[in-house]
Each structure stands twice: as structure tokens, then as C-alpha cells.
Amino acid sequence: MQKEAFCAPTVYNPVRYVQGIKTTGGTIVWISGQVSQDKDGKVVHQGDFRGQARQALANLQAMIEAAGGPPRISVKVNTY
């Protein structure tokens, strides 16, 4: 099984951090924790919990779609 790092075009992709890993064929996908950042790495919706939560979930959805799958196939999501 081959693993490949990936990042959605709308999600910030820092140099020393892997936003996502997918296996060959996209069978299994691991996505790193998402926060309220835009594609340039700026924190958005400061002081607005709902806005930050929406941004983090939008980033998660973008990562799932970049891996080739619709959000409805998510198996497990941890929130903190």
C-alpha cells in the first residue's frame, strides 16, 4: 500500500505539516486537525466561535473532497 500526502487548494498547506495522507486508490484517508485558517494561513473569524467552527468544518470538507470522496463517507471525526 502506497501513501501520498495531499492538501486541498483552499486549505493552508504549511511547509512542515502534512494536512492529509491517502492510500493508493483513496481507500483510506487520514486528515490532520483543521482550524479556522484561510488558504494563506490567516486566522479568520477571531472571537466568533460559530464562524471558526464553520471554517474548520469547511476546511475538513475541502480536504475530504480533495481526497476524492464526498463528506458522507466519513467514518470518524474527533472535535475538541
Domain-wise residue ranges, the chain: 3-69
Q: Which of 3-7, 31-35, 36-40, 70-74 has the lowest mean pLDDT?
A: 70-74
* Rounded average pLDDT over 4-14: 95
- Evaluate if residue 26 carries a pLDDT over 90: no
Model pLDDT for residues 37-68, shown as the tens digit of each residue: 999 999 999 999 999 999 999 999 999 999 88
The number of helix segments (H) and strand segments (E) in the chain equals 1, 3
CA–CA gap between residue 19 and residue 21 (Å, rounded):
7
Topology, domain 3-69: 60s Ribosomal Protein L30; Chain: A; (3.30.1330)
DSSP state letter for 66: H
